[in-house]
A and B are shown apart, each in its own frame.
Chain A
Amino acid sequence: MTEPIRIVALAAGLSTPSSTRMLADQLSRAARLELERAGAVVDVQTVELRELAHDITDAMLTRFTGERLGVVVESIRTADAVIAVTPVFNVGPSGLFKSFFDAMDIEIWKDKPVLLGATAGTPRHSLAIDYAIRPMFAYLKSQIVPTSVFAASADFGADTEGQADALPLSSRIRRAAAELAMMLRTAGAAAEAEAQAGGDTETTADGSPAESGTAGSELDAEFANFVPMGQLLGRD
């Protein structure tokens, strides 16, 4: 594979330095190692949502994506996977994290492999990912990596290797990264098989053209999202 695997890591921490950013970096590093071990070239781009806080608010109020936010949205649209990490506030993701998703088109998350992470001051927030964060990605129809990684402050120093009921942070990170790598390898293999089969995925089973519009080659994908009128009116 010559094309690098592109991963965008989102960190929604508010302070600098932030433990959320630390967890995002750890997850990125682990994912990179896993993928590189399998011979892939990996390109990770890390985005601190804090730096886009005003752009995110503007996008919510105007309903259009400004230039700086637009660059990030495009990176996500074309990324092979996203690592999304948020602090847990009031048993949910940070408002900044939620607003970021609220401000953009939901289509770009469909089928996107996403590894979830969260940080908090106390281990008592550990189920926040499963109860308050994962459901949104289920709604967005992302491919969620089965293992999500929660880190409380204490985890960054804990050494509990060998305790079955409390896997230390580093081994949870390794497991999540391995699952993400597996997901990407499976997706890559499927795409390759499809390409070898003749690349005729644009037609339906009976060989007729797929039921989406054909926009000009220079237009972004969102502008192909229509049904030709003849078909819609039942006149073709």
Chain B
Amino acid sequence: MQFGVFSIADITPDVATGKVPTENERLKSIVEQARLAEQVGLDVFAIGEHHNPPFVTSSPTTTLAYIGAQTERIILSTATTLITTNDPVKIAEDYAMLQHLTGGRVDLVMGRGNTGPVYPWFGQDIRTGIELAIENYDLLRRLWSEDVVDWEGQFRTPLQQFTSTPRPLDGVAPFVWHGSIRSPQIAEQAAYYGDGFLHNNIFWPMSHTKQMVQLYRERYEHYGHGTATQAIVGLGGQAFMRKNSQDAWNEFRPYFDAAPVYGGGPSMEDFTRMTPLTVGSPEQVVERYLTMADHVGDYQRQMFLMDHAGLPAKTVLEQIELLGTEVVPVLRKELDARRPADVPDAPTHQTLVAAAEAERGAFDDAYRFETGDNWTGLRAEDSRSEKRLA
């Protein structure tokens, strides 16, 4: 099981001091969080992508590559990659680059983005968000899996004899999760391709989460990727911890009450009851997150949002440390123990390479001037037509 933290890199005033971090301070503190996340044994660090204030990560691969250079083990991921407003060609290139430079420590979570004006800024329309996500992602997969792509679609200019470079590391594309909170169509999309489904349920009651994950699992089985229980599921989470539970409540409440997303709305009591947000001691966080699998089945990735609501940088680091040292070791042990042997871990670059080698033999990484497919020695198109004939 993988555990990680994600940040959407918002700039929010600290309600206790009134201080507003600069963009530079925020970016630096995010890098520090990622380094600490690796040090305390977390598996994944993910960063959001936004193209509007008050956010500071418009260019996730720049940030992730910089983090990648300062870490050795942690998987670098996104929360989320905008599959709607980004050109799939640029995503294919950027993340293949990142994959090479970080030794394959990359996966992506695809999302549509929910800020209306961002779409027209990038020449798109939010009303076609789902259609964009479907078409762009299908192209993205082809750009990674086929050396030479001829393509025509509705939303971008056609491609003739296009090769996305660099080719994916070891001939395998980064693993992809699809993030969706409310759209069954995205659960269906994830299931169709046998990709992961990351349901960031931090603002949602379990009654909803449960059904969304169940839909993905049923469709995953329907498409023949494995049984419903073997589907690759990730959840979101939120916690604020102090040794003493009451200290956690007292310290977090002013931040909760003023938080941009739920501030002025439900009480912290109601919100912690209805959503995964847990405020208390590390033991209470463990206790709460041990129950998630009872609702959604054994799952592969648990992400936590720790860096938000204007919490001071130092506090966020303390939270990541508590998570890594006191919460995750227990969760990892207990959740791995309860998971049946036939339910896989989340794919990593290593397991994807092993699977590809088992299926197609060793990968020849010799550079292909004559665009071709190094698995079969044939051009990608030829290898597909051969399969059709056979």
How many B residues are at the interface, by size bracket? 20 to 34
B214 in contact (CB, < 8 A): yes
- Chain B contacts for A227, CB-based, 8 A: 185, 188
Given contacts A62-B261, A64-B208, contact A216 B184 (CB under 8 A): no
Contact B188–A63 (Cβ < 8 Å): no
B270 in contact (CB, < 8 A): yes
A224 in contact (CB, < 8 A): yes
Contact residues, A39-86 vs B (CB, 8 A): 57-58, 60-64, 66-67, 70
Given contacts A61-B264, A64-B208, contact A216 B218 (CB under 8 A): yes
- Chain A contacts for B215, CB-based, 8 A: 215-216, 219, 223
Q: Mark B251-271, 1 if CB is under 8 A from A, else 0.
A: 000000000011111100011
Contact B184–A233 (Cβ < 8 Å): no
Given contacts A219-B211, A229-B192, contact A61 B218 (CB under 8 A): no
Contact A224–B188 (Cβ < 8 Å): no
Q: Mark B191-227, 1 if CB is under 8 A from A, else 0.
A: 0100000000001110110011011001100000000
Chain B residue at minimal CB-CB distance from A225:
B184
B189 in contact (CB, < 8 A): yes
Given contacts A64-B204, A64-B205, contact A58 B270 (CB under 8 A): yes
How many A residues are at the interface, by size bracket? 20 to 34
Q: Mark A193-232, 1 if CB is under 8 A from B, else 0.
A: 0000000000000000000010110111011111111101
Chain B residue at minimal CB-CB distance from A66:
B274
CB distance from B7 to the nearest CB of A (A): 20
In whole angstroms, what is the CA distance A87 to B345 when docked? Answer: 57
Given contacts A64-B204, A229-B192, contact A223 B185 (CB under 8 A): no
Chain A residue at minimal CB-CB distance from B263:
A61
B32 in contact (CB, < 8 A): no
Contact A226–B185 (Cβ < 8 Å): yes
- Chain A contacts for B262, CB-based, 8 A: 61-62
In whole angstroms, what is the CA distance A153 to B350 when docked? Answer: 75
Please pick, from B134, B212, B275, the residue contacting A223 in the complex, using a CB distance under 8 A.
B212
Chain A residue at minimal CB-CB distance from B207:
A70
Q: Which residues of B contact A (CB under 8 A)?
A: 134, 138, 183-185, 187-189, 192, 203-205, 207-208, 211-212, 214-215, 218-219, 261-266, 270-271, 274-275
28 A-B pairs within 8 Å (CB atoms) are namely A58-B266, A61-B266, A62-B261, A62-B262, A62-B265, A62-B266, A64-B204, A64-B274, A64-B275, A66-B270, A66-B274, A213-B184, A213-B188, A216-B214, A218-B214, A219-B214, A223-B184, A223-B212, A223-B215, A224-B184, A225-B185, A226-B183, A226-B188, A227-B188, A229-B188, A230-B192, A232-B134, A233-B134
